[in-house]
Amino acid sequence: MIQSYLTVSILLFCIGIVGVISRRNVFTVFMSIELMLNAANLAFVTFSRLHETMDGHVLALIVMAVAAAEAALALAVVILLHKHKGQLDTNVFSLLKG
Amino acid sequence: MFADGLFILFTVIAVTGAAGLVLFKHPMNGAMSFIVTLIAMAGLYALLSAKLIFAIQLIVYAGAIMSLILFIIMFLNIQEEDLPVEEGRFKYLIGGAIIVAPIGLFLTRVIKSFPGAEKTITVEGFGGIKEVGLILFREWLLPFEIVSILLLVSLVGAVVLAGKRRMVK
């Protein structure tokens, strides 16, 4: 039971990594990161069920709050970059590199 | 078993939605597909008897965050010609899958060694609002306060970044 839930979590996390490293649309990359956060949440809740403590639920709540903060900031940056460049390609946004 | 059938159903829906998110060209289709994934994951949380996380996944994640993303996608009014050209998209996807596959297989081997709690009935009120809230405000109070500061900082940052009026050009 626990193993199958963790397998789902690993599968979703791997799909998220593939989305991040192989797509160039900035929205798809962003939602793939959200998918990876969700896979981590599923692993937290599964381990919480295994040990019958609720600390994993609290961690999942905190991860959701961090995801909300990340969504607000990342979308603001995307709006700003779209205003400047008029494109959604992550290769065009490489002006952020150091 | 009824729960096993529900688990397989939610798993298939979640993985299909995630694959759709990676495969669709237009981000609007990808976002819709991702919402399906999020709702199926809420079902998985309910099967793990995490009632509060189930509700918050539906309300905050599938409701608030995804509607924010959809709002921004519609706000930017993306046409087909605005999208980046990705001719070798499937080639890159297959390459990425080949790179990630060893990590996934390794993690699958790791979780085989875990002990499995086989269908034990959980304690009374496991995952309810009162119990999780007690743990949140007793043992996790400092992380909770730090998260509130993080939300404030991101709020101010989003206003400063997106709502800037250009005085000097």
Mean of the per-residue pLDDT values of chain A: 88
- In chain A, which residues have their Cβ closer than 8 Å to the Cβ of B65? 34, 67-68, 71
A15: closest CA among A26, A5, A23?
A23
Q: Does pLDDT of A62 surpass 90?
A: yes
Q: What is the pLDDT of residue B147?
A: 93
SS3 A25: strand
Is the Cβ of B113 closer than 8 Å to some Cβ of chain A?
no
Q: Note the pLDDT of residue A96.
A: 63
B130, B51 in Cβ contact below 8 A?
no
B133/B122 Cα distance (integer angstroms): 18
On whether any CB of chain B is under 8 Å from the CB of A85, the answer is no
Q: What is the pLDDT of residue B124?
A: 76
Q: What is the pLDDT of residue B116?
A: 67
Residue B160 located in a structural domain: no
- pLDDT tens-digit profile, chain B (169 residues): 788 899 999 999 999 999 999 998 889 999 999 999 999 999 999 998 889 999 999 999 988 999 999 999 998 888 777 777 777 778 888 888 898 899 989 988 888 887 766 666 777 778 888 989 999 999 999 999 999 999 999 989 888 887 766 655 4
Task: Tell the burial category of B163 from Cβ atoms under 10 Å away from its Cβ (0-12, 13-18, 19+).
Answer: exposed
Assess if residue B167 is contained within a domain: no
Q: Is B134 inside a domain boundary? A: no
In a domain, B156, yes or no: no
Q: Which domains are assigned to chain A?
A: 2-90 (1.10.287.3510)
- Chain A interface includes B40 (CB < 8 A): no
By Cβ distance, the residue of B72, B95, B108 closest to A22 is: B95
Residues A39/A12, Cβ–Cβ less than 8 Å? yes
What is the nearest CA distance from B154 to chain A, expressed in angstroms?
6
DSSP assignment string, chain B: -HHHHHHHHHHHHHHHHHHHHHH-SSHHHHHHHHHHHHHHHHHHHHHTT-HHHHHHIIIIIIIIIHHHHHHHHHHHT--GGGSPP-TTHHHHHHHHHHHHHHHHHHHHHHHHTSPP--SPPPPTTTT-HHHHHHHHHHTSHHHHHHHHHHHHHHHHHHHHHHT------
Q: What is the CATH number of the domain that holds B107?
A: 1.20.120.1200
User: What ipTM was predicted for this assembly?
Assistant: 0.91
Q: How far is A76 from chain B (nearest CA, A)?
A: 5
Q: Tell me which of A2, A3, A4, A23 to substitute to probe the interface with B (most B C-beta atoms closer than 10 Å).
A: A23
pLDDT band at A17 (very low <50, low <70, confident <90, very high): very high
User: Structural domain of residue B101, as residue ranges?
Assistant: 2-126
Contact B22 A23 (CB under 8 A): yes
Largest CA distance in chain A: 51
Go through chain B and tell me how many residues it has.
169
* B93 within domain boundaries: yes
Please tell me the total count of domains within chain B. 1
Chain B partners within 8 Å of A12 (Cβ): 14-15, 18, 37, 41
DSSP letter (8 states) at residue A2: H
Residue B39 lies in a domain: yes
Asked if the structure places residue B165 within a domain, the reply is no
Look at B96 and A4 and tell me if their CB atoms are within 8 Å.
no
Cα–Cα distance for residue pair A64/B158, rounded to 1 Å: 18
Does a structural domain hold residue B143? no
pLDDT for B11 equals 95
| Cβ <8 Å between B147 and A21 | no
Query: Is the minimum CB–CB distance between B144 and chain A shorter than 8 Å?
Result: yes
